[in-house]
Structure 1
Amino acid sequence: MFTNYSAELTKIVRVFQLENILPDLDLKGRVITRKEINRPALQLAGYYYRFDNDRVQVIGRVEHGYLESLEPEERRLAICHLFENHIPCIVICKNLEVFPEMIQYGMKYNVPVFRTKNTTTDFTAEMIFWLRSELAERIMLHGVLVDIYGEGVLITGSSGIGKSEAALELIKRGHRLIADDAVEIKKIADQTLVGTCPELIRYMIELRGIGIINVKDLFGVSSVKQSKTIDLVVKLESWDGTACTYDRLGLGEDYMEILGNKVLCNTIPVRPGRNLAVICESAAINNRQKKMGQHTAREMEEKLRNQLDK
């Protein structure tokens, strides 16, 4: 069961640099809980069936032009009906004129009114993207997330198996750390998982015998990154000489389910002498090659079949 997340209205004003038309209204404690926005064209025309009044309401040139075309009393009633539905806020784009009725009913029904210089298309696109990230379903996993050659690789495994040590070697080889120990994963789209790190331990790595180190301070800003899509899971487990489950050819593919999304998972047996950093690099490159249509294991299988046919 997932928690319902919210975005503070004060944060939205700050992030999108909105002009607050009604500064006397207290914004503290107000939150947005819906990822979608609404352009109330139909509502201004009087159609309120299945109206999503808990969304951010956006007024663009079309809605503004329609209100301008109305007689004063019709415009007053249209704006009154919209505000009396207890909408969370309204945003007017392109620095269009704010109708006096909006100020009047904004104060009466305690509805904040904002304005932005951005076009309606740009603002709605950025707002939807931001809200999907801010309100996304999320989960915290134990592991290390590293950006390897542009692939987001989540390294998992039991405590003490060598995840942080592998990440440190990868950083020294020019790759970037996103999170160590605790990885917060958000599902921002049906096929997209994004990993980040809690603010408290951001850019930190714990190394047994040494302690906690700050990767950003030691290796520079080029060695860290705030977030990354998760493209591959590398699961480290202790070597079991009797096990026959380790993939030798790469024809089969295992997946790890995270928030309902399936992510390709490579299980890597760990034993003394194995260079985990090089293995993780190879796994990332191989995964990227598969995305580009080059599957080495299948090509090898095809060559073998052709040889047998001869």
Structure 2
Amino acid sequence: MVKVTVQDLVKEFKLELLNNEEDVAFRPITTSDLSRPGMEMAGFFTYYPAKRIQLLGKTEMTFFSQLTPEEQEDRVERLCTYDTPGIVLSRGMEAPEKLVEAANKMGVPVLRSEMTTTRLSSQLTNYLESQLAPMTAMHGVLVDIYGIGVMITGSSGVGKSETALDLVRRGHRLVADDSVEIRQEHEGALVGRAPELIRHLLEIRGLGIINVMTLFGAGSVRNFKRIGLAIHLELWDQKKQYDRLGLDEDTIKIFDTDLPKMTVPVRPGRNLAVIIEVAAMNFRLKRMGINAAQQFSDQLTNVIEEGDKDDF
């Protein structure tokens, strides 16, 4: 899991820090859930989710302003704990002096944004879900082909990078080569990207490392892409029976997601870039409800059944 702190939120959303940086502790944020402490402002702290970012909008601050000075002091002291990663005020509102004092005492950052509460809540949640999603790294190449994120895997030297280069030349976009960081941002959605060190780079044996964006332009690369299909390249095995109809549907499990997988045998004379390009187009057709293999199978079954009837 990637470590995210309030400093990352300040940089990403241009938040303003309202208390002294020397007085605060930038604790790690461990959950993407936010808390709008309305019940806590009313004094109910029994189920206070202290480890969440606390988002204060106009409703909470209006209610807070109507409390007595003693109640205000009690609320902010119980709101600011050693577990609280930060407090964010929306709509550019001023932070009450008592809140800043209590936050300084516990080292809690108090931040301000000009965005509306709903918009800020949505953007913070999306960002934290993306950053805190489960992550793994896989050896392979990720290419955006006709809008489908195709993950190409296979043993070292089988031709993954060369195939990716051919696909880029055909107008598709490279996402990652050699190592693909995969995050499950929500159920059923796997998003892949390249490690920052090797972003936009492609390694071709005998040629070396090339910068795809420099050679082919900004339209030849993407920083991230949702993965829809996995294609495994393997050297042709004469003893192995490969699928010739396309009716068998294999999958690979990454986290809780079953990703459709195809195995493509490699041998001299096969144009892998064209095969993978067609596989991506055929995958799109299947998602639209057009399955050529199934249609052929149904037609064949009908012909056989009609032939059986004629025999009688």
TM-score range, shorter chain: over 0.9
Percent identity reads: 43
Residue matched to 1:225: 222
The one of 173, 181, 186 equivalent to 1:184 is 181
Residue matched to 1:120: 117
Residue matched to 2:257: 261
The one of 216, 239, 246 equivalent to 1:242 is 239
Deviation of 1:301 after TM superposition, in Å, equals: 1.6
Aligned counterparts of 1:161 and 1:26: Cα–Cα separation in 2? 55
- With over 3 angstroms needed to count, the CA separation of the structure-2 counterparts of 1:248 and 1:209, relative to structure 1, is same
Q: Is the 8 A contact 2:88 2:113 kept in 1?
A: yes
Cα-Cα RMSD: 1.5
Deviation of 1:271 after TM superposition, in Å, equals: 0.8
Residue matched to 1:287: 283
Unaligned stretches of 5+ residues in structure 2: 307-312
Residue matched to 1:174: 171
Residues 1-310 of structure 1 mapped to structure 2, 5 A cutoff:
4-25=1-22, 30-84=27-81, 86-244=83-241, 246-310=242-306
The residue type equivalent to 1:252 in the other structure is D
Aligned residues: 306
Deviation of 1:260 after TM superposition, in Å, equals: 2.5
The residue type equivalent to 1:168 in the other structure is L
Aligned counterparts of 1:227 and 1:302: Cα–Cα separation in 2? 39
- With over 3 angstroms needed to count, the CA separation of the structure-2 counterparts of 1:83 and 1:72, relative to structure 1, is same
Q: Is the 8 A contact 1:171 1:223 kept in 2?
A: yes
Aligned counterparts of 1:278 and 1:206: Cα–Cα separation in 2? 20
Residue matched to 2:310: none
The residue type equivalent to 2:6 in the other structure is L
Aligned counterparts of 1:191 and 1:260: Cα–Cα separation in 2? 7
Deviation of 1:298 after TM superposition, in Å, equals: 1.3
- With over 3 angstroms needed to count, the CA separation of the structure-2 counterparts of 1:133 and 1:298, relative to structure 1, is same
Aligned counterparts of 1:191 and 1:93: Cα–Cα separation in 2? 32
Query: Which deviates the most, 292-301 or 210-219?
Result: 292-301
The residue type equivalent to 1:294 in the other structure is I
- With over 3 angstroms needed to count, the CA separation of the structure-2 counterparts of 1:27 and 1:269, relative to structure 1, is farther
- With over 3 angstroms needed to count, the CA separation of the structure-2 counterparts of 1:238 and 1:24, relative to structure 1, is closer
The residue type equivalent to 2:228 in the other structure is D
Aligned counterparts of 2:177 and 2:271: Cα–Cα separation in 1? 19
Unaligned stretches of 5+ residues in structure 1: none
Deviation of 1:85 after TM superposition, in Å, equals: 5.8
